[in-house]
Amino acid sequence: MAWLDGHGDRSVVYVSLGSLAVISHEQFTEFLAGLVATGYAFLWVLRPDMVKTTSSVLREAVKEAGSKARVVEWAPQRGVLRHRAVGCFLTHGGWNSTLEAAAEGVPMVCWPFFADQQINSRFVGAVWRTGLDMKDLCDRAIVEGKVREAMESGELRGRAHAMAQQLKLDVAVGGSSSCDLERLVGFIRELRREPMMMYLS
């Protein structure tokens, strides 16, 4: 967080591909080269077991990326996403990450692996239009292009911000999500009363 404090508003790319995915050394190299080529600083959460290669090779590659690269094993994701320095989120498109980015109004670049990530990624790119769906492509030129677009597109940023504002209204008292939750709680309470009433009758 202190490293982010030293950067300007919306000038850093946040990268996190989740807690389960494993990528090849070639994919890592393409991601790293694409990120470096953007010219933007980036914070990459890279688990020790994420890349199929040795730790010394990873350290050397990150060192060559220069001072704009900050690689850590873990980061407080909600705090990072709400930090003023973060301009976009390169993510695997898991549901938690997708919701957290949406709530903070951060444009996304999604590179999904499996399960719900494919659907979430398509939703971000084609339905909400708050980010870009990189699908299954892993090429340094594509990484560079998508990240640049997410960092520089006023349209994406505007839609991401509008969605975050709407989500805040939805979860507030009287909002659609808040009312739906109250109805659900009421329904569950009714279910609890019904068996007792049947027994008494």
Structural element, H or E, at residue 14: strand 12-16
Mean confidence (pLDDT) of the chain: 88
**Domains: count for the chain:** 1
Quick: pLDDT tens for 72-101.
889 999 999 999 999 999 999 999 999 999
User: What is the rounded distance in angstroms from the CA atom of residue 132 to the CA atom of residue 88?
Assistant: 11
CA atoms within 13 A on the CB side of 186: 6
The pTM is what? Answer: 0.86
Average pLDDT over residues 59-74: 78
Helix axes 140-152, 154-171, angle to 10 degrees: 60
Q: What is the pLDDT of residue 199?
A: 54
Is 185 a domain residue?
A: no
The answer to the question of residue 98 being in a domain is: yes
Q: Looking at the domain assignment, is residue 195 inside a domain?
A: no
Phi (first) and psi of residue 24, to 5 degrees: -80, 165
Domain span holding position 9: 2-171
Residue 181 falls inside a structural domain: no
Could you give phi then psi for residue 97, rounded to 5 degrees?
A: -65, -40
Does any domain span residue 138? yes
CATH number of the domain at 14, please. 3.40.50.2000
Would residue 19 count as lying in a domain? Answer: yes
Strand extents, DSSP E, 37-130: 41-45, 51-52, 69-72, 86-91, 108-110
To which residue do tokens 């950067």 refer?
Answer: 7
